[in-house]
Structure 1
Amino acid sequence: MVVDEKRPISMAEVVDLVGDSEKSESIKSFIKNFEVIPLERAMKIKEGLEALDLIRLKDYHIVKIIDFMPGDATELNKVVNDASFEQEEVDKILDVIKNN
């Protein structure tokens, strides 16, 4: 198998991509241990976060945000602890999560 592209994806996207093989059942079984939002909502949140066009908000941050769904600034800072956001940016990120 050759890896053509390496990019972070949310657990909602994984569930959609793995299909119905025997191997996929073990992946799906593992993911059931977590609360996974529906793919449609995950994609709306992803699009909303990308539309903010924040320089410090990277693809892997967006995936973490979708997987953990932080509800306040403290939770968001724990999820994206390697990035520092202004309060206005934090508010925008949380608004995208709440409104999608």
Structure 2
Amino acid sequence: MTEVKIIKQKPVALIEVKEHLDSLLKEKKELNFRENKVSAYLHGFELLNLKETNQLKQELNEIEISRLKETHIIKIIDLLPTDLESLKLILSGENLTLKQEDLNKIIETVKKYA
């Protein structure tokens, strides 16, 4: 069996995946089974547009919370938590502890877009 080697990992926002699938659909006229499943899943979400996603990502990076990595930022953008409880729930699966003031900064930034 062929061994798969991961060369690079990069977190990708759901809107980027959705737009990529939409462009594939225009090119190929038809998506395969897996692409159709992912597309159907993504169309069930209310997502920011690509411009808003990039602006929010930039604003979250500008907060300069050293422990907040790109993976965390993408999760926050995809789920858009508007209260502390939701944000804590999203980050609970990560090995990440943030100060209350940092959590509040994140929530205030996200609320501008939600």
Q: Give the TM-score normalised by the residue count of structure 1.
A: 0.84
User: Quick one: which of 78, 84, 102 aligns to 1:73?
Assistant: 84
Q: Residue 93 of structure 1: which of 98, 103, 106 is its match?
A: 106
1:10 to 10, 13, 28: 13
1:2-81 mapped onto 2 (5 Å cutoff):
5-18=8-21, 19=23, 20=25, 21=28, 22-23=31-32, 24-81=35-92
Q: Give the drift of 1:99.
A: 2.3
- State the percentage of identical aligned residues: 25
Could you tell me how far apart the structure 1 residues matched to 2:39 and 2:6 are? 22
Q: CA deviation at 1:17?
A: 2.3
Cα deviation digits, residues 23-55 of structure 1 (max 9, x gap): 454432221122222222111111111111211
Unaligned runs of 5+ in 2: none
Q: CA deviation at 1:5?
A: 3.3
SS in 2 for 1:89: helix
| Residues matched between the structures, number | 100
Tell me by how many angstroms 1:76 deviates.
0.3
**Which is greater in Rg?**
2
Q: Partners in 2 of 1:41 and 1:3 — Cα distance?
A: 30
Q: For the residues of structure 2 that align with 1:5 and 1:33, how far apart are their CA atoms? A: 29
* Alpha-carbon distance in 1 for matches of 2:41, 2:13: 14
Q: Whole-Å Cα distance in 2 between the matches of residues 28 and 40 of structure 1?
A: 20
The TM-score, its normalising length taken from structure 2, stands at: 0.75
Aligned to 2:97: 84
1:84 alignment partner AA? T
